[in-house]
Structure 1
Amino acid sequence: MEYSVKASSSSKKSASIQIKQSKINFGITPEFADTIPNPAKLFLGSFSSCILKNVERFSGFMNFEYSKAEILVKAIRLEKPPRIDKINYELKIYSTDTNLNVELLKKNIEKFGTIFNTVQLSCSIDGDVKLIYE
């Protein structure tokens, strides 16, 4: 399987990524720091998306129902060399399903997530999955 995206930027302005029918703007200058995401936030967004996609995927495999899932991701950035050193996530699954095996879900997310596994090779990841009964 191969992936591709197209991105472009304008000097001293902003940039965007074209992915299928979606366009995602991102900042490349300090003027946009408070209004649109920077590359590091897009990176964390990709990480978050991977986990949420796998919640949906494993709801079918593990036979559980959920109404929604929310994830909060935080990262620690080192200065020299500049890189993400540690990621922490908290995933909340809202469900009435009392048979949902949260530990197995977490294990599957961390074992089969493409972005998760790629990121895990370069920084530490610590996460928590919580079931919120509705």
Structure 2
Amino acid sequence: MNNETKAALTFSVSAQRVDAHGSVAHCKQAEIHLDTDLAGRMDAFNPAELLMAALAACMIKGIERVTPILKFELRGVQVRLHGVRRDVPPSMASIEYEILVDTDEPDRRLTLLHDNVKKFGTVYNTVAPGTTLSGVLRRLPK
């Protein structure tokens, strides 16, 4: 079965305003509070932070997906992101990331893992064309 004949995955999320300070989004049995307050909120993700969190989740999920295939041994993964927003037009100008993998695998295998993250990540491949997206995957320091 090729990519064109496979059934497309679909996703559904709903969100609604709670009050002038925030909103809430629902998906499956999960809920996340959103910072939609014009003054900002410290206890919720704003839209740009949600985009970066989605990118981080995409990277980690991609690693979870390929490690059994590659027989890649790891103890943990951390993703750190830094985004820069431009005002005109309003968009993310750039996102830099650092993926830290707790592993004893050789460096060439780290490169292979990073290549898979970039090649097969849905959110990664959605964000990359419109944003300067750059980063590294490295071993977590001991």
TM-score by length of 1: 0.92
* Residues 21 and 38, structure 2, Cα contact 8 Å, conserved in 1: no
Give the structure 2 partner of residue 77 of structure 1: 85
The AA in structure 1 aligned to 2:103 is S
Listed as ranges, the gaps of 5+ residues in structure 1 are: none
1:1-134 aligned within 5 A: 1-98=9-106, 101-132=109-140
**Identity, % of aligned pairs?**
25
Hey, what's the Cα distance between the residues in 1 that align with 2:80 and 2:100?
A: 9
Task: Decide which moves more: 16-25 or 4-13.
Answer: 4-13
**Which string of whole-angstrom CA distances, capped at 9 and with x for unpartnered residues, describes residues 25-54 of structure 1?**
011114542221111111110000000001
**Unmatched 5+ residue regions in structure 2?**
1-8
Letter in 2 for 1:41: E
RMSD of aligned Cα (Å): 1.7
Could you report, residue by residue, the CA deviation over 1:78-115 in whole angstroms, capped at 9, with x for unpaired residues?
A: 01111001110000000233477011111111011000
SS at match of 1:18: strand
Could you tell me whether the CA contact under 8 Å between 2:18 and 2:24 is conserved in 1? no
| Matched residue count | 134
Return the alpha-carbon distance in structure 1 between the equivalents of residues 21 and 42 of structure 2: 14
Query: What is the match of residue 5 of structure 2?
Result: none
- Structure 1 stretches of 4+ with a deviation exceeding 4 A read none
